[in-house]
Structure 1
Amino acid sequence: MKKDFLLIIFILLCSFASAQQTDYIKSIKAYQKNYVETHEVVKGKDRKYFRFFPIDEKYDVQCSFEKINDSIGFTMTTSAKTKKHYFKYGKLSFLIDGNIFHLFVYQSKDLMQTEKYKDYLFVPFTDATSGDESYGSGRYLEFYKDEIHNNQLQLDFNKAYNPYCAYSPNYKCPIPPRENFLPVAIKAGEMNFAKGH
């Protein structure tokens, strides 16, 4: 009788976990659908060339956040060889497959002076897929300050996206600093655009 009870509990727990995973996959698919349909650069029939890695929940990572007080900032090179001024806002630490990785978080000097984007934070990165399965000049993640709670942040690489330069040479996109290279293949988020420019 006790074994039967434990078996029922196990089945219920597995069903609950499966339902949670299904909900997560649905939420990312909805995110990707909206991303494609509302993209400001790629329009019309060209939207069929968007590609994404298979959704994998292991890339939805819990990060510890360490604030950095940077009052000087630095210049980040863009794809057009121009410079944009950023401040280093913080450092993220997280685990993937049991290994610890770090990414730095930046804040744009220009954007922080606007009401809409004063709390906007930017995480450009490259990884072992860059230049192969994903865009060679890196991908981006973004969030707002109020998403950081008790020095913790949920960072989902399934939402990593390409800069506009991946679709057109007419943009000046920040190139991720070397310190934001991840020595691992992040097989999540947007892949290389399937149509050249």
Structure 2
Amino acid sequence: MKKIILVILIFAFNFSFGQNKFNKSDAEKFQTTINTEYADSKTSPLMADDLKTFKSLDFYPVNAKYFVIAKLVKARNEKAFEMKTSTSRKPKYIKYATAFFTINGVSLKLNVYQDVELSKSDKNKDYLFLPFSDKTCGKESYIGGKYIDLKIPKGKTIAIDFNQSYNPYCAYNRKYSCPIVPLENDLNIEIKAGVKNFH
């Protein structure tokens, strides 16, 4: 029987929460933290054979152009829906808002979501889930896209650091159940940032 786990790495990515300007050291801390987690047999999603030889994940070079301050337009009258996953599990999410931003002169937008069950806890009530895919997916990046962890901001903008994007656990081990990136969050550009494909 497949082990079914909701894949969210909130503890590892507090560096981006509340951030309002690019700081290279935040992205470097992210890389150190995720490498430490993956190297530890107690927290690693890697299969046993991969864990034996694991030294580091492969990252794109940290690049300030992939840190954006996006305009956040909160959704209205949205209903919870079942998000498809890599297994038969269908967790309920609700669209929280749409983030509008620009990279390389291209206007882009991504929907951000709240996990319905997760939002019921005081600890995670402000957590936002940003899954996305782009033109690097299936080539340099994981074919299934990547995730970014965010927190509900106080204002009408939100900082998104693609340098801190990471692969679903499914990229490393099929026993996990991972949300599939919604079609509306497929970007028609290359985002050369964050964790690369795992070889």
Sort the TM-score into its range (normalised by shorter chain). Answer: 0.7 to 0.9
Identity of aligned residues (%): 38
**Matches for 1:22-171 after TM superposition, within 5 Å:** 24-39=23-38, 40-42=43-45, 45-145=52-152, 148-171=153-176
Higher relative CO (Cα under 8 Å, sequence separation at least 6) belongs to 2
Change (3 A) 1:29 1:45: farther
Which of the pair has more CA radius of gyration?
Answer: 1
**Are 2:186 and 1:181 equivalent residues in the alignment?**
yes
Q: What is the Cα deviation at residue 112 of structure 1? A: 1.1
Query: C-alpha displacement at 1:81, in angstroms?
Result: 3.6
Q: Is the 8 A contact 2:108 2:187 kept in 1?
A: yes
Please state which structure has a larger fraction of its residues in helix.
Answer: 1
Given the alignment of the two structures, is residue 190 of structure 1 paired with residue 189 of structure 2, yes or no? no
Task: Return 5+ residue gaps in structure 1 as ranges.
Answer: 1-22
Q: What is the CA-CA distance between 1:45 and the residue it aligns to?
A: 4.0
TM-score if structure 2 supplies the norm length? 0.80
* Alignment partners' CA distance in 2, 1:114 and 1:70: 22
- Alignment root-mean-square deviation, CA: 1.7
Distance change in 2, residues 1:115/1:149 (3 Å): closer
| Long gaps (5+) in structure 2 | 1-21
Secondary structure of the equivalent of 1:179?
helix
Instruction: Give 1:149 deviation, angstroms.
Output: 3.6
| Cα distance, 1:122 vs structure 2 | 0.2
Structure 1 residue 109 displacement after superposition: 1.2
- Partner letter of residue 53 of structure 1? Y
- 2: CA distance, partners of 1:139 / 1:42: 15
Listed one character per residue, the Cα deviations across residues 91-138 of structure 1 (whole Å, up to 9, x for unaligned) are 000010111100001001111122221211100001001111111111
Question: Given residue 174 of structure 1, which amino acid in structure 2 is its aligned partner?
Answer: P
TM-score (norm 1): 0.80
Query: Going by fraction, where is strand more abundant, 1 or 2?
Result: 1
- The answer (yes or no) to whether the contact 1:41–1:167 under 8 Å persists in 2 is no
